[in-house]
Amino acid sequence: MCDALDASVLDGAAALASLDDVALGERIVALDVLARRVAAAQAAAVRAFDRRGAADAFGCASTAAWLRSHAGASEREARSLVALSRSLDRWPAFAAAFAEGAVSAAHLRIASAATRILSDETVAAGDAFLTATARALDSGRFAAVVRHWVARVAPSEFERDTERRYDARWLSISETFAGMRSIQGMLDPESGALIESAVASLLAANPVDDARTRDQQRADALTDLVQVAVARGPSSLSDAVRPEVVVHAATVAGDVAPPPSVGDQALTPAAFDRLSCDAQWRRLLLDAAAVPVELGRATRTVPAGLRKFVALRDGGCRYPGCARGQSFCEAHHVVHWRHGGRTDADNLVLLCRYHHHVVHERAHALTLLPDGVVEVAKPDGHILTGRPRGPTRERLEV
């Protein structure tokens, strides 16, 4: 921490040549600290300006509008700066660390965004811990810690927020000039990680002297994936090696210690239950310093033969009214194995990805009656029933 705002590092660009490598590195770090302190001072000034309602005196409707007309900020920059300045009130310890240049505006934005769903009391309780964490970590690793912290201290808010993000998924494919297609979208973390890892697995196989750009390789990889799926037909997908989402979960005395995660995204308990219904497991042994020392053999929750039997019996998603074929389905434990449910045909049904999600994450209670009828009680009290599809010739020939 600097004792005074040391602006001398801004001078003498011409003198840089006289600095040795160490001194030049120190100069870069000093400039970074200075930039953070300037950003913190600016945010504090904007907060004071905002609190006074000073924009009104300039004929501006809001502080953001004033920043746009008087400080050359774009609409987005202005909004972002006002939001940052307002978050200072909620995070006193964080604000102090920001003012001394120990954490960046990016750290504070991450903390504010990830905790907007939390009460003021919960945020106040986490201020000191998250500030100490932000001091030690870059903003990327800090974001992962914040998400895990939120999942732990406010599980129901975290669950609601996770569902809101799931609802925000979309994809659009539209034709633009000369038949080019524009693909845009936003995916929930799990689907996004699945596609990302599938595309990345094809990139790694490419030779280094590939003349294509990385962007072009990604576009080709996505097309390759779809082409393989279409060429083999959907029924091949169930037996194909699926790209996998790796769930990291620590176990303590046989129980999964929360929160498990996909990449650095913390999973809700419901999402973990869903993923573990039909998963491939490997035991990863860590030593006391959390360094991996041994990777066990892969075992399946549902053995391949049993899964095939259930696929033949059910033919596709058993959620009443759904027509998704078996290739797009996962095996669901009606009574989860964590609660003593057996992994046998009487306790397994196929569900498509979406309906597997609503059963676990949206509390659609599914039961399998002795005559094979599936009954679903929706949260609004509606009961849906679905009879077994019955074997078809096509299915028996699979």
Shortest separation between residue 356's beta carbon and Zn ion, angstroms = 5
Residues 6+ apart with CB under 8 A from 14: none
Q: What are phi and psi of 360, to 5 degrees?
A: -85, -50
Task: State the Cα–Cα distance between residues 23 and 334, nearest whole angstrom.
Answer: 65
Instruction: Give the whole-angstrom CA distance, residue 82 versus residue 54.
Output: 13
Secondary structure class of 29 (helix, strand, coil): helix
Q: How far is the CB of 123 from Zn ion (least distance, A)?
A: 34
Q: From the CB of 323, what's the least distance to Zn ion, in Å?
A: 8
Residues 384/369, Cβ–Cβ less than 8 Å: no
- Judged by beta carbon, residue 47 or residue 355, the one nearer Zn ion is 355
d(CA 194, CA 200): 10
d(CA 7, CA 99): 15
Residue 336: C-alpha distances to residues 122, 275, 277, 388 (Å): 32, 11, 7, 21
Least distance between Zn ion and beta carbon 271 (Å): 10
- Amino acid identity at 254: G
Pairing of strands 374-377, 383-386: antiparallel
Q: Are 355 and 370 a contacting pair, CB within 8 Å? A: no
Residue 321 neighbours by CB under 8 Å, 6+ apart: 384, 386
Binding residues for Zn ion, rule: CB under 5 A, are 274, 277, 317, 319, 322, 324, 332, 352, 355
Q: Which amino acid is at 247?
A: V
* Closer of 79 and 308 to Zn ion (Cβ): 308
Q: Which is nearer to Zn ion, 94 or 319 (CB)?
A: 319
Q: Nearer to Zn ion by C-beta: 50 or 273?
A: 273
Nearer to Zn ion, 101 or 316 (CB): 316
- Nearest of 77, 129, 131 to residue 107 by alpha carbon: 131
Our CB check for Zn ion shows the closer of 88 and 194 to be 194
CB of 387 to Zn ion, least distance (A): 15
d(CA 213, CA 90): 44
Please state the closest distance from residue 348 (CB atom) to Zn ion, in A.
9
Angle at 300 between CA 295 and CA 303, to 5 degrees: 145
Q: Are 171 and 140 in contact (CB under 8 A)?
A: no
When the beta carbons of 127 and 314 are compared against Zn ion, the nearer one is 314
Kindly tell me which of 50 and 278 has the beta carbon lying closer to Zn ion: 278
**Residues 32, 288: Cα–Cα separation, whole Å:** 35
Q: If you search the block for the tokens 């979208």, which residue do you land on? A: 185
CA angle 156, 150, 166 (to 5 degrees): 60
- For residue 362, the minimal CB distance to Zn ion (Å) is 12
Q: Report, in Å, the least distance between residue 185 CB and Zn ion.
A: 21
Q: In this structure, are residues 375 and 369 in contact, taking their beta carbons and an 8 Å threshold?
A: yes
Question: Rounded to the nearest whole angstrom, what is the least distance from the CB of residue 316 to Zn ion in the complex?
Answer: 8
Q: Which is nearer to Zn ion, 152 or 242 (CB)?
A: 242
Nearer CB in complex with Zn ion: 271/352 = 352
Q: Least Å distance between CB 177 and Zn ion? A: 37
